Chains A and B, each alone.
Chain A
Amino acid sequence: MAPMSEYQLNKLLFDTAGRHQMVESISDEQELAAYDLSPAEREALREGDLTRLYELGANPYLIRRVFRPRFKI
């Protein structure tokens, strides 16, 4: 099962996708502060490090939706 922090990471991505926002990275500190994220998750979001986000438990379908501009196809 996903640890709590991983749940919060996916919640942030789910909420972002729900607003139909597509971004290269997520670095808005106010937005990040609204979720109980680990330092590693925050860093990966700020850097838009998709591989790291996946390793940290971000759902790939949410990665795809939120970071759509990062994919060629």
Chain B
Amino acid sequence: MGAIVAGCLTSHAPNITAKPVIADPRQRERFVAGLETMRRRLAAARPDVLVVFANDHLQNFFYDNMPAVCVGVAASYWAPSKGGAAFLKVPARQIPGARDWAKALVQAGLERGFDLAYAHELEFWDDVSVPLHFLLPDASVPIVPILTNCVAPPLPRPRRSYELGAFVEAFVDDARPGAERVALLGTGGISHWIGVPGHGRINPEFDQRVLDAIREGRGESLAFLTHDEIETQGGNGGQEVRNWIAVLGALHGKKGEVLAYEPVPDWLTGCGAVWMDV
């Protein structure tokens, strides 16, 4: 059996790297310091593979063929791609993919009743590139991206994301070699309203509700959030909390330490960074 050696939860937003200076400097420093603590702890956990629960922003998928959950099975990923780099203001780069690991996960899913789509080519924007810019600056750990549809309703239920995380945990536990060290990252949310009436809104109350549940080891309660509840209290961008919920499902009952939380208006996002007990 492999071991989950780290669990990280972070927000992502283009402006975190594209326009860092428009944020209140104190907020920026506190949030980036939280990510730096996370980077150090993640490196100290010495993972062999990093499973990244994230979401597409309609750069890979469109309404002609929209997977609920899709696993990247590529040998490498552009994170960011050249197009993404242009607006994220960080250099385009390739991150290695844990191809065999990802394929084995897809196969295990088919055998265990979790039918996952898969993709041999994915490009990433802020969704994966911004967190990895801070957490994996040397691209030293191969990743397995697992993309859940959080942007093009109808969306999978949050409960399904919790189950997805539990499935990944069971896969690591049952099917991976004993010495393998697996880290998990869930990225998205917390509250933000993007491109909708009310664009730019953040709801710190919703964010604190999410963070309190995680602090207290009640992550499973978030799996019972409904789409409408998230949409009205966390905004359409809040639907990305599914990616956090997947990690919480993998680390059932564990508590998290909030390293930073800053509702940054100019980054359009309630920015959280949480380190999970494993």
A residues near B (Cβ < 8 Å) are: 1-2, 7, 10-11, 14, 17, 20, 50-51, 54, 59-64, 71-73
Contact = CB atoms under 8 A, between A and B. Distances in A.
Contacts of A72: 200
B18 to A, nearest CB: 11
B57 A61 contact: yes
Given A60-B236, A63-B196, A73-B15, 14 more contacts: A1-B154, A7-B63, A10-B63, A11-B63, A54-B195, A59-B58, A60-B194, A61-B57, A62-B58, A62-B195, A63-B195, A64-B195, A72-B200, A73-B200
Contacts of A7: 63
A61 B83 contact: no
Given A59-B151, A62-B58, A73-B268, A2 B63 contact: yes
Interface string B238-278: 00000000000000000000000000011010000000000
Interface string B147-169: 00001101000000000000000
The prevalent SS among residues of A at the interface is helix
A62 B151 CA distance: 10
A61 B58 CA distance: 8
Interface of B: 15, 22, 57-58, 62-64, 83, 151-152, 154, 194-197, 199-200, 236, 265-266, 268
A72 B266 CA distance: 10
Contacts of B199: 64, 71
Contacts of B196: 54, 60, 63
19 contacts: A1-B154, A10-B62, A10-B63, A11-B64, A14-B62, A51-B197, A54-B195, A54-B196, A54-B197, A60-B194, A61-B195, A63-B195, A64-B194, A72-B200, A73-B15, A73-B22, A73-B200, A73-B266, A73-B268
Contacts of B268: 73
A14 B196 CA distance: 17
B30 to A, nearest CB: 20
B266 to A, nearest CB: 6
A64 B268 CA distance: 12
A71 B268 CA distance: 12
B171 to A, nearest CB: 31
Q: Enumerate the 5 nearest inter-chain pairs by beta-carbon distance, A residue then B residue, closest first.
A: A60-B195, A64-B195, A63-B195, A60-B196, A51-B197
A7 B64 CA distance: 9
Contacts of B265: 73
Contacts of A14: 58, 62-63
A7 B236 CA distance: 19
A54 to B, nearest CB: 6
A20 B236 contact: no
A7 to B, nearest CB: 6
A40 B152 CA distance: 21
B200 A59 contact: no
